[in-house]
Structure 1
Amino acid sequence: MIADIHITEKSFGDKTLMRDVKFSVDDGEKVGVVGRNGVGKSTLFGIVAGTDSDYTGEVIFRRGITVASTAQEHHGLGDQTVLSYILVGLPEYAALKKIIDEYPETMGDNMRKIEEYTQALERFDQKGFYQIEEKIARELDNFQLSGCGERPLGSLSGGQKRLVEIVKIMHSGAHLALIDEPTNHMDYVAKQQFIDWMSSQPRQAMLIITHDRDVLGRVDRIVELKDGQAVSYRGNYDAYLKQNAQATAAGMNNFEQIEKRMTNLRQKVLDYQRLKEKSRNPGTIQKFKRLENEARAELAELSEMDKPTFWIDKQSAGQLDYKSAERYGKFKARNIRLSMKDAASRSQHVLVRVEDAAVGVGERILFEGVNIDLREGEAVELRGRNGAGKTTLIRMLLNNGAAIAPPSSARAHAPILYSGNLFLDLQVRVGVYEQEIDERYLADPLEVAIEKLYLSRDLPISDTKIRQLLADYLFTEADRMTPLARLSGGQKARFQIIAMLANDPQLLILDEPTNHLDLPSIEELEIALAKYAGAILYVSHDNYFRQEIGGEVVQIGAA
């Protein structure tokens, strides 16, 4: 064991986020951390990383253990180059480099410093730090960050910074790596490289927050945060689903027994009250009063118990026996509710057509020879590396086959349709899921943003409709007045789904829709899309999602 984590309590104001969260991490163990949006996964990482000390409990590391973690914020580091940021983040690098650079000027005949200098040279070589800059440059190339090593960190996009964090972790050599949503913003090649690297580090333990089922398929254990506690499941994602289904079935049975006991106790309280009132014997009255108080005390204790969160994946739910399935229908946790027209209204109307399209920027060809024929009820996946032109093609389709006219100074960087044809039916209603929220809404409270969103599209909206949307997408009363910029990644993703479905679209365009969603929400989205009557044009590097949605795969750029 290299880390033992026991959080007795972690609260924010009146809200208790965790209570008695307890688990350990063994040498070389790969542990996936999952849980519904908002349960405290990133907060847990802050506690383990030592950046959050406002909790009750303790995190104990074995002596000599080094820990590296991905950072969420980079305040005050905007001018630092990417390479220097990664190097400073490597355990031991900065201290050893300081000795190697400074001691030759000051050590003279000081034997202590000479010994420290010699040991630093040996350790620097053992850690592979003499070749580290070349290795980092190659890794940046692999993640399509060529030439970024000397760029200021502040000049990178949010997605690029996340990839820099992964490169930092990959070269840290730490005994324990804390990695938060590593594959968001990765294309399918980079993602596979990360998974291969993760699986090739037998001596490095990892704690990985992720809902990427491809990553979870390669872990040794999954820790789920729910109901303020941590539940550990030995094995990978498939093993987790089986164990969770069994544990949930047992938990529902226990909860049903508790509910029956509470019903029974309420009746006993009434019965003892009546018997007490009818009695004339003081001893008998005292007896029924005591029994009534005992029943009330037990009822009060059981009433204080929160209802557990019950979720079973759809495949396991389909294999439940009749009684368990009935209980699950009664007790299952609330999930997002997506309203889409089903296949009953499906036709074979052509919505999108791309014929032998070649698109470039300036004299550089992004892709060529692309053909798409997308009709209602069909799905097409755009497959390609980051920067291959997938988003460019989508934007040109939405702009009726043309490049978006830029200012004259930026015209050289505008996409150009060199040959072929792009067609999108102008009468079709389109819903677009984008990873980034329109900046117009970021400062607005959630309910105001929803109202503005509908009004900007000339769609009817009312307080009743807003309340229904908030309920359907699992937003709390406190979320209503929270500015969008302060919502979690999962909450922002749910707002983007509201935006996508606002106009009852006939065509959905999805750009990595499973990023930031928790597992139950991803599954609910997949179920809704499977019944959807319209057409789907999507980009996803989630192989589980791709298998569920299916459709023709159109390669954009080199494979």
Structure 2
Amino acid sequence: MILLQVQQLTKYFGAELILSNIKLEVQTRDRIALVGRNGAGKSTLLKMIAGQLSFDSGDIMKPKDVSIGYLAQNTGLESNLSIWDEMLLVFESLRLKERELRRLEQSMADPHIYENQERYEKLLKEYDQLQIEFKDQGGYQYEADIRSVLHGLNFASFDYDTKISTLSGGQKTRLALGKLLLTKPDILILDEPTNHLDIETLSWLEQYLQGYDGAVLIVSHDRYFLDKVVNQVYEVSRKKVGKYVGNYSDYLSLKAEEYERDMKQYEKQQEEVAKLQDFIQRNLARASTTKRAQSRRKKLEKMDLMDRPLGDEKSATFSFDIERQSGNEVLQINDASIGYQKEAVSHQVDMRITKGESIALVGPNGIGKSTLLKSIVGKLPLIDGELRLGTNVSIGYYDQEQAELSSKKTVLQELWDDYPGHTEKEIRTVLGNFLFSGDDVLKPVTALSGGEKARLALAKLMMQKANFLILDEPTNHLDLDSKEVLENSLIDYPGTILFVSHDRYFINRIATKVVELSKDGANEYLGDYDYYVEKKQEMQELAEWDSREKNGKTPEKEQSSDKSAFFKDKEAKKVERQRKRRIEEIEQKIEELEQTVAENEKLLCEPDIFQDHEKVLKYNEAIQAAKSEIELLMEEWTELEELLHS
């Protein structure tokens, strides 16, 4: 069922065109991502669809009974009520029905009611009808729904009588999300819902949205999240939108294929145009060939000439370098307690970082990850323990709040004042690499958006040339393209990195080690995020097994053999997962190769190719190479399938 249609939507801010002729359709159970650069107009489009912003032309059509729920970026829940009472407001109509049911029950409990049979039957019928409505609308489970959502959004340890006004900004944002989820609108519109969520909460939200009965329209810069949740992507670029079916990774592949296909068609047409123009130029003046030349000119005039396909919009370009190498020992933390004003949030923290490592610091919100980073850079003292930096270690620190970027200076002055030894041209070149061009460098820092402040903070960090980067949520406020540039620059960075991030794709690409912070210390996992998750799950299953053994739920003589069987089963499942992943990779590769064969065989039918011996040879070689690779992959696929089902 179509829930909403956007037709030919156009939006101006003053004289500036923001969006032009936008088309978008939302159907039941759609999971749609809006992607694009910061400033492309994604949030503007969401606000127009949600009825929060007007538009200049076009239509937004939806049936009257379709409900829309909208959560803007960083929307905090402002209320003087307690957490529980605020969530109950969502179910006010159900609670009225509940009170009416109690009233009817009291009336039916009156012994005199049986004296009037007609009145009693009317009351009973009214009660039955109301009870059915109450049950169908979730009347017997709404309190369980509230607890489930609050638990999923990391409020399990909270007293639900806590006043919302006493909570932090991040907690208020999570509650605003929770309240919206409980309303269960037909179309759920979320603008950057993953901000302020730790990894555990993000995983819960992914599962919740996967099972959501309505449609979801979402803006997010978390690639891992988008790959798990969405089945359609609309790209907002150059004031227009393009639709791609699949998740974010599918969108990237489809977009690359589309560009390559369009470029081939464009080049082919340009070649034809050049031949026609050459023929016209050589033959128009000659009496014997002028008619043919005129005919070609008419053909050229009637041609619908293609524009050169536009590639990706300009990206930030930067890389991190170091001024001098540090010693092998970069940081040593022994038995540290961290926190504020002698109130520790984490105890007995031990950590050793050596040169060249890239370490992700993970853990739930409020456990002290940012506090630990601030202690390392000297912004906060340790409550207890020892912290020692190695020889020649120079720290470059990126603060997630960008607290140091609140001056009234211009962008140019902000960077130039830190590095006065450089010329204005050099500073402008650096800022240009971070997408500050022309008059952008004269903007006051206070007027910058979150994404612009993040890019300026990264520019300052790059100029520092420190050999130990400490990064607190560096991907917050960055669009997906800028994130990729940051990822690549950090992968190539020759120094040492310690970073906090809830972006799991980013952790997977950057981390060589994951350190999990808890209130009782820090645990180390050698590998990326996926390895960390797998290892945690294995440890949890082992702990459950040990608990069953201690409680005597497994006969003693069976314990050792059962435990061995458990580990064998665990290893077998791991191998099975690896085989399944490889089968998927092979299937995708075969599909790509078959498409290549089909395209090359089609090209061989083109007159300008089959008449050219060298081109025919080249395309035939490419076809044979692809077919040989398909054959090898098919053999591997068959072998894996047999192993999987044996």
The residue type paired with residue 437 of structure 1 is Q
TM-aligned CA deviation for residue 451 of structure 1: 2.1
Residue in structure 1 matched with residue 315 of structure 2 by the alignment: 335
Instruction: Name the structure where helix makes up a greater proportion of residues.
Output: 2
Q: Deviations over 1:499-523 (max 9, x none)?
A: 3223112111112222222222111
1:502 corresponds to 2:463 = yes
How far the C-alpha of 1:372 sits from its partner, in A, is 2.5
The answer to whether the 8 Å contact 2:332/2:388 transfers is: yes
The structural deviation recorded for 1:495 is: 2.1
Measure how far apart 1:531 and its partner are. Answer: 0.9
Change (3 A) 1:557 1:104: closer
Unaligned segments of structure 2, at least 5 residues? 104-118, 520-535, 537-646
Alignment partner, residue 325 of structure 1: none
Spell out the pairing of 1:264-343 with structure 2 (5 A cutoff). 309-311=310-312, 333-341=313-321
Partner in structure 2 of residue 395 of structure 1: 374
Of 200, 203, 218, the residue aligned with 2:211 is: 200
Q: Is the 8 A contact 2:319 2:490 kept in 1?
A: no
1:159 aligns with 2:170: yes
Question: Counterparts in 2 of 1:36-435, with a 5 A limit?
Answer: 36-72=37-73, 77=78, 79=80, 86=87, 90=90, 93=91, 123=133, 125-128=135-138, 132=142, 135-137=145-147, 139-145=149-155, 146-147=157-158, 155-201=166-212, 203-218=213-228, 219-254=230-265, 256=267, 309-311=310-312, 333-341=313-321, 349-359=328-338, 365-399=344-378, 403-404=380-381, 416-417=383-384, 419=385, 421-425=386-390, 427-435=392-400
Question: What is the Cα-based RMSD across aligned positions, in Å?
Answer: 4.2
**For the Cα contact (< 8 Å) 2:336–2:383, is it kept in 1?**
no
Deviation at 1:97, TM superposition (A): 5.7
Q: Look up the SS of the partner of 1:498 in the other structure.
A: helix
For the pair 1:451 / 2:413, whether they are aligned, the reply is yes
Verify: 1:543 aligned to 2:553, yes or no. no
For residues 117-149 of structure 1, give each alpha carbon's deviation from its aligned partner in whole angstroms, at most 9, with x where no partner exists.
998876555433565456435533443345475
Aligned to 2:555: none
- 1:451-474 Cα distance to aligned partner (Å, 9 max, x none): 23553x465355323422331112
Are the equivalent residues in 1 in contact too, given 2:431–2:459 (CA < 8 A)?
no
How much has 1:190 moved relative to structure 2?
0.8
Work out the CA distance in 1 between the residues paired with 2:275 and 2:161.
Answer: 71
Q: What percent identity do the matched residue pairs reach?
A: 29
**SS in structure 1 of the partner of residue 460 of structure 2:** helix
Q: Name the aligned partner's letter for residue 496 of structure 1.
A: A
Per-residue CA distance 1:267-306 (angstroms, 9 max, x = gap): 999x89xx9xx9xxxxx9xx99xx89x97x999x98xx6x
Cα pair distance change 1:81/1:483, threshold 3 Å: farther
2:94–2:139 Cα contact (<8 Å) kept: no
- For the Cα contact (< 8 Å) 2:76–2:175, is it kept in 1? no
The alpha-carbon deviation at position 150 of structure 1 amounts to: 5.3
Give yes or no for contact 1:4–1:60 (8 Å, CA) kept in 2: yes
2:383 alignment partner AA: I
Give the conservation status (yes or no) of the 8 Å contact 1:371–1:554. Answer: no
Task: Tell me the distance in 1 between the aligned counterparts of 2:125 and 2:19.
Answer: 48
CA distance in 2, matches of 1:508, 1:485: 25
TM-fit CA distance, 1:46: 0.2
Tell me if the contact between 1:347 and 1:377 (Cα under 8 Å) persists in the aligned partners: no
Query: Aligned pair in 2 of structure 1 residues 425, 536: CA closer, same or farther (>3 Å)?
Result: same
Displacement of 1:74 in angstroms is 5.8
The question of 1:479 aligning with 2:434 is answered no
The DSSP-based 3-state class of the residue aligned with 2:146 is helix
Letter in 1 for 2:171: Q
Secondary structure of the corresponding residue to residue 518 of structure 2: coil
Q: Which letter does structure 2 place at the counterpart of 1:394?
A: L
* C-alpha distance in 1 between matches for 2:439 and 2:141: 51
In structure 1, the residue corresponding to 2:464 is in which secondary structure?
A: coil
Tell me which of 468, 476, 481 is aligned to 1:515.
476
1:38·1:488 contact (CA, 8 Å) conserved in 2?
A: no
* Deviation of 1:169 (Å): 2.8
Does the 8 Å contact 1:348/1:377 carry over to 2?
A: no
- Secondary structure of 2:383's aligned partner: strand
1:194 and 1:451 map into 2 onto residues whose CA distance is 42
Q: Is the 8 A contact 1:352 1:423 kept in 2?
A: yes
Distance verdict in 2 for CA 1:255–1:47, change over 3 Å:
farther
1:465-476 counterparts in 2 under 5 A?
465-476=426-437
Q: Which runs of 5+ in 1 are unaligned?
A: 279-283, 312-332, 405-414
Task: Give the Cα–Cα distance (whole angstroms) in 2 for the partners of residues 483 and 266 of structure 1.
Answer: 52
Cα distance, 1:21–1:375 mapped onto 2, change above 3 Å: same
Distance across 1 between alignment mates of 2:331 and 2:145:
44
SS across alignment from 2:261: helix
8 Å CA contact 1:216–1:237 kept in 2: the answer is yes
Separation in 2, partners of 1:308, 1:162: 41
Q: CA deviation at 1:76?
A: 11
Q: Secondary structure at the match of 2:183?
A: coil
Contact in 2 for aligned 1:7/1:22 (Cα 8 Å): yes
| Whole-Å separation in 1 of the counterparts to 2:352 and 2:479 | 32
> How many residue pairs are counted as aligned between the two chains?
490
Change (3 A) 1:84 1:437: farther
Which protein, 1 or 2, shows the higher relative CO under an 8 Å CA cutoff with sep ≥ 6? Answer: 1
Q: Deviations over 1:312-337 (max 9, x none)?
A: xxxxxxxxxxxxxxxxxxxxx32111
Which whole-Å CA distance do the structure 2 matches of 1:182 and 1:488 have between them?
Answer: 18
For the 8 Å contact 1:454–1:502, the answer to whether it is kept is no
Deviation of the 1:365 alpha carbon: 4.9
Distance 1:444 1:253 in 2: 49
Tell me the alpha carbon deviations over residues 85-112 of structure 1, each in whole angstroms, 9 at most, x when there is no partner.
5555x4xx4566678789999xxx9xxx
For residue 170 of structure 1, what is the amino acid of its counterpart?
L
Question: What SS class does the counterpart of residue 353 from structure 2 fall into?
Answer: strand
| CA–CA separation in structure 1 for the residues paired with 2:275 and 2:179 | 59
Contact 2:232 2:244 in 1 (8 A): yes
Larger Cα Rg: Structure 1 or Structure 2?
A: 2
Kept in 1, the 8 Å contact 2:33–2:217? The answer is yes
Q: CA deviation at 1:431?
A: 1.8
Structure 1 position 538, deviation (Å): 0.8
* Cα shift readout 1:393-436 (whole Å, capped 9, x = no counterpart): 11111118xx44xxxxxxxxxx512x3x2112485332222221
How far is the alpha carbon of 1:227 from its aligned partner? Answer: 2.2
Q: Which amino acid aligns with 2:414?
A: K
Matched, 1:437 2:402: yes
TM-aligned CA deviation for residue 61 of structure 1: 1.8
Structure 1 residues 261, 360: CA separation in 2 closer, same or farther (over 3 Å shift)?
A: same
